[in-house]
């Protein structure tokens, strides 16, 4: 037993020493991150599909999106991975993203969903729109529901984007969030911080942001919360303050 424990400590020491010895890439600029998202778009779904299913994220996407109703805005909609989970309660859907290449893939997914209506409901009215989430072109209180899955980690201005979500949501409506963020478990939180530059370089994603702090500072009120993956994945139902 002592030999096994010693081996674990030794192995952990080697990993830590190796990680600290590796040079960190510089954080990507806004323009470089935009290019990263565009380059990822054609292979994005294939790259994450198995991990999302195995980790339970796909099930959480379904659970979150099923709560949407009325006129719905999905921010950072990417390749429209959520479109298959919307229900008949959704009357009108706007899917936005700041990356046109992602929405080009989304258009294909929507066409496939419409062709397969016997398996999945697909809203009859869907609009795709390219814009910055921190500067939305909508009037106040335009939507019954605002949905964002894994956008806060990607926004250049997450605080501004959340304030815009709150502004665009009707009083009594819902802002539904599924996000990566800083873990509640110190070892994983350290790992997220240590690997941040490499993770941004690979995915364009800041995976260690203070999700709940950003949400509260935006004026949104958290009314329901779930966390998994050592507290690093958040599912939040919020209302405008």
Query: What's the domain count of the chain?
Result: 1
Domain assignment present for 17: no
Domain assignment present for 65: yes
The per-residue pLDDT string of the chain (241 residues; one tens digit each, 9 = 90 and over) reads 555 545 544 444 445 544 555 678 899 999 999 999 999 999 999 999 999 999 999 999 999 999 999 999 999 999 999 999 999 999 999 999 999 999 999 999 999 888 876 667 888 899 999 999 999 999 999 999 999 999 999 999 999 999 999 999 999 999 999 999 999 999 999 999 999 999 999 999 999 999 999 999 999 999 999 999 999 999 999 999 8
Contacts of 157 (CB under 8 A, 6+ apart): 133, 134
Q: Tokens 């958040």 sit at which residue?
A: 234
Amino acid 116: pLDDT: 76
Amino acid 5: pLDDT: 45
Contacts of 108 (CB under 8 A, 6+ apart): none
pTM here is 0.90
Domain assignment present for 198: yes
Q: What are the structure tokens assigned to 227, written together?
A: 């966390």
Domain assignment present for 114: yes
Domain assignment present for 56: yes
What's the rounded Cα separation, in Å, for the pair 72 and 86? 10
3-state secondary structure of 79: coil
Domain that holds residue 188: 26-240
Amino acid 2: pLDDT: 52
What's the rounded Cα separation, in Å, for the pair 126 and 238? 23
Amino acid 12: pLDDT: 47
Amino acid 127: pLDDT: 97
Amino acid 4: pLDDT: 56
How many Cβ atoms are within 10 Å of 230's Cβ, its own excluded? 13
Domain assignment present for 75: yes
For the beta sheet containing 70-75, the strands, ordered from the edge strand earlier in sequence to the opposite edge, are: 126-130, 90-97, 70-75, 143-149, 169-180, 233-240, 220-228
Query: Which CATH number do you get for residue 110?
Result: 3.40.50.150
CB environment 155-186: b (16+ within 10 A), e (fewer): beebbbbbbbbbbbbbeebbbbbbbbbbbeee
Quote the radius of gyration of the chain (alpha carbons, Å). Answer: 19
Please name the helix (run of DSSP H) or strand (run of DSSP E) that holds residue 174, with its range, or none: strand 169-180
Domain assignment present for 70: yes
3-state secondary structure of 20: helix
Domain assignment present for 15: no
């Amino acid at each position: 037993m002592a030999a096994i424990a010693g081996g674990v400590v030794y192995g952990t020491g080697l990993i830590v020493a190796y990680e600290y010895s590796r040079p960190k890439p510089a954080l990507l600029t806004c323009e470089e991150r935009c290019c990263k998202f565009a380059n990822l778009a054609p292979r994005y779904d294939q790259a994450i599909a198995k991990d999302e299913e195995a980790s339970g994220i796909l099930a959480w996407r379904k659970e979150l999106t099923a709560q949407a109703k009325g006129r719905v805005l999905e921010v950072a909609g990417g390749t429209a991975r959520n479109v298959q989970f919307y229900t008949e309660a959704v009357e009108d859907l706007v899917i936005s993203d700041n990356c046109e290449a992602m929405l080009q893939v989304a258009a294909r997914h929507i066409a496939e969903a419409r062709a397969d209506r016997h398996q999945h409901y697909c809203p009859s009215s869907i609009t795709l729109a390219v814009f910055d989430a921190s500067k939305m072109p909508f009037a106040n209180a335009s939507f019954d529901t605002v949905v964002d899955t894994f956008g806060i980690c990607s926004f250049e201005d997450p605080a501004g984007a959340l304030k815009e979500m709150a502004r665009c949501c009707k009083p009594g409506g819902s802002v539904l969030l599924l996000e990566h963020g800083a873990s509640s478990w110190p070892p994983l939180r350290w790992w997220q911080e240590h690997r941040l530059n490499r993770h941004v370089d690979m995915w364009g994603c800041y995976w260690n942001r203070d999700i709940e702090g950003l949400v509260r500072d935006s004026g949104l009120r958290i009314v329901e919360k779930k966390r998994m993956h050592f507290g690093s994945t958040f599912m939040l139902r919020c209302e405008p303050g």
